[in-house]
Amino acid sequence: MKKEKCIICRKPLNDGIIINGRGICVNCEGRIIKAKANTDFYEYYKNCIRKTLVQCLPRGVTKDCQNYHL
């Protein structure tokens, strides 16, 4: 069975959160929570999540989620 990797740091995923079948490790989860909005780190995490999860959206669902702060 293929070992899942964190969508942010690409390290093997032992624990963390799963979003749409994709994992974020505990370390990256903590960094995301502590990141201040509109910083380079925040933009990096946002882009990693968007790049990975937008591909998982079903056809017809818009990727412009204006109600969510990705």
Q: Under DSSP, is residue 14 helix (H, G, I), strand (E, B) or coil?
A: coil
CA distance 6 to 25: 6
pTM of the model: 0.67
| 3-16 confidence digits (pLDDT tens) | 789 999 999 998 89
CA distance 27 to 11: 10
In DSSP notation, 28-63 reads HHHHHHHPPTTSHHHHHHHHHHHHHHGGGSPTT--S
The band of 24, judged by pLDDT with boundaries at 50, 70 and 90, is: very high
Query: Is residue 9 a contact partner of residue 30, using CB atoms and an 8 Å limit?
Result: no
